[in-house]
Structure 1
């Protein structure tokens, strides 16, 4: 038997952002075994929110998982890992992600601004964690990568852009044509 057979680079099982009522704003589940259906995910999020909304600690053991979270204005940001995961590492990922959002949203990290800038919030999460693997914890590096990706959109053919990117490009071209 190989002693390292169960090791994986995956450190984050899920990243979840809930509003002040416990409704999903943003969620990515990186582990297929962790609540594979949307119904199970929503039930998990509801019970997680109920458990953490009044606690003063930022690290809890919940449903045999380590959960680090941070309340920010009218949002709760959660990063979830296995019980084998280092809580300090999860906490630094949470801090890097929330600080990068604050940089990118000009310190307006609240439900309305996250919803209005969902593409930026998702890019921020993608630059922080990829498939459960922690990529970066430094907020300025994360924010720099997100803004760099945004400036590269002009060079990507419209057929290869996401819907949000294509709409933004079309809007920018429309505004340029109005003022020229």
Structure 2
């Protein structure tokens, strides 16, 4: 007689593991010494649900990236003021502001911030991302990370942000790689200026080649 035994294993998955998602960044901010916005990138995952602003299939709860409370400019500015008040008084680089986790890095007259969900954030990953973005901006601006210089080169800074985080997903944590992608010239991007002098030069070159060819006959 053969007896088949079926063993059912019950695996407990912690709630933090159940909420793991690629969408780990809520915002990337650069504020000045008075808490005013210099650069602000807020991320909402695509195909988000209406209720929480986060993908329902990923199980990301309230406080996760793209939460509905940070959609309007007024809400974002109020949040940035809260970030400024929290980080300027607190010691260290990690600041919980439920339901968010904020990591900060000061630089001259600017403060770099990265925001993630408090419940599920990996502090080391957020720290690596913030450091990469800061160092990439430093490379692009040749070490002059000041408000005036950042505003004058805002296009480079925004491109660096896009190369670091996209839709709340961390793309790169290597500052040199981020900077190289921002400064890399695009193929066929050289402007060709055609004017009267250009046409005369082309005609002269063509005439010389025709004369040489006739002389060889």
Alignment TM-score, normalising by the size of structure 1: 0.80
* 1:58-115 superposed Cα distances (whole Å, 9 cap, x missing partner): 0010132111010110111100011211001100000000001101100001111110
- What pairs with 1:92-131 in structure 2 (closer than 5 Å)? 92-131=128-167
Aligned to 1:18: 31
Q: Find the aligned partners of 1:54 and 1:71 in 2 and give their Cα distance.
A: 13
Of the two, which has the highest radius of gyration? Answer: 2
Aligned to 1:144: 180
Offset of residue 36 of structure 1: 1.1
Distance 1:7 1:56, change over 3 A: closer
Aligned to 1:166: none
* 1:10-50 superposed Cα distances (whole Å, 9 cap, x missing partner): 11111011000110001011133241111010001011101
Alignment TM-score, normalising by the size of structure 2: 0.67
Q: How many residues align?
A: 156
Distance 1:113 1:154, change over 3 A: farther
Deviates more, 1:124-133 or 1:6-15: 6-15
**CA RMSD in angstroms, aligned pairs only:** 2.3
1:71 alignment partner, one of 90, 95, 106: 106
